[in-house]
Amino acid sequence: MKIKLLLVLLMPISVFSQEKVGIYAISFSINQNLLQEYKVQTGQNSSSNTSFSYGSIPPLSDFLHDSVRLTLEKMVAEVFSSEANCIFRMNSRNEPISTIGFTTNIRGLPRNCLRNSIKLHEKDTYARVYVRFYGYSVSSPSIFGFQKGYIQPVVSIRIKAYNVERKKIYNQKIRYSNFPQLKNFQVSGFGNQTSVIRREILSSTMIFSMLKETISAYKLKYINQ
């Protein structure tokens, strides 16, 4: 009798643990204002209504690309208490189609559509993850062409999930901003025709740390309530 009762109690856990989640798309973007240390703007005047801006953005560290993918796979697995992994659409050469990873994006992430994912991959749940790094700016009044300010970084994470009938079964988002401010200053030339902006920027290590901190806040809000 005790053995039968134990099997009944364990059955829901074993059945649930067999479910699998496929992450068919991950959108991960970082606003260039968080990565661009110097920016030169010229031609900003009311008469010409033209402008030109220039500023280089250093490349993201290589470790960040794989670390982001593995970290988000682990997060989705914890959200659904199931096995989770990225699933990729393949090209004609049987190579995975993934994000290219421009200066402000992460490479190697899946970029598939839901219909195709359901057709080609046998999963119980299909998830899409959105990660966005951005910020809002606050500036002081300009005094003799010199202006101080800061950017408050913000990280948002949204997870959407669907079943095999393409019915949405999960949709939760968090917006987290408990991060240090990034200071900046701007120097303007004669007639405000030219301005030079210098900012504190995010390093790859900071980006990864902020991602993990936002994930912890997400789990605290939706999982460990």
pTM: 0.84
The chain-wide mean pLDDT, for the chain, equals 86
Q: What is the pLDDT of residue 22?
A: 98
pLDDT tens digits, 37-72: 888 877 655 454 455 556 678 889 999 999 999 999
- 152 residue type, one letter: Q
Q: What is the pLDDT of residue 52?
A: 56
Q: Which residue has the higher pLDDT, 220 or 225?
A: 220
Asked whether residue 120 carries a pLDDT value surpassing 70, the answer given is: yes
Between 101-115, 169-183, 210-224, the lowest mean confidence (pLDDT) is in 101-115
Asked whether residue 3 carries a pLDDT value surpassing 90, the answer given is: no
Q: How many other CB atoms are found less than 10 A from the CB of residue 116?
A: 12
Q: What is the pLDDT of residue 186?
A: 86
Q: Which residue has the higher pLDDT, 9 or 192?
A: 192
3-state secondary structure the chain: CHHHHHHHHHHHHHHHHCCEEEEEEEEEEECHHHCCCEEEEECECCCCCECEEECCCCCCCHHHHHHHHHHHHHHHHHHHCCEEEECCEECCCCCEEECCCCCCECCCCEECCHHHHHHHCCCCEEEEEEEEEEEEEEECCCECCEEEEEEEEEEEEEEEEECCCCCEEEEEEEEECCCCCEEEEEEECHHHCEEEEEECCCCHHHHHHHHHHHHHHHHHHHCCC
Q: What is the pLDDT of residue 24?
A: 97
The pLDDT-based confidence of 2 (bands split at 50, 70, 90) is: very low
The fold adopted by the segment(s) 19-222 is Double Stranded RNA Binding Domain (3.30.160)
Q: Which residue has the higher pLDDT, 94 or 131?
A: 131
Q: What is the pLDDT of residue 40?
A: 83
Highest mean pLDDT out of 10-19, 96-105, 174-183: 174-183
User: Domains of the chain: which residue ranges?
Assistant: 19-222
pLDDT (average), residues 89-111:
86
Rounded alpha-carbon distances, angstroms, from residue 178 to 140, 157, 183:
22, 14, 15
Q: Which residue has the higher pLDDT, 101 or 147?
A: 147
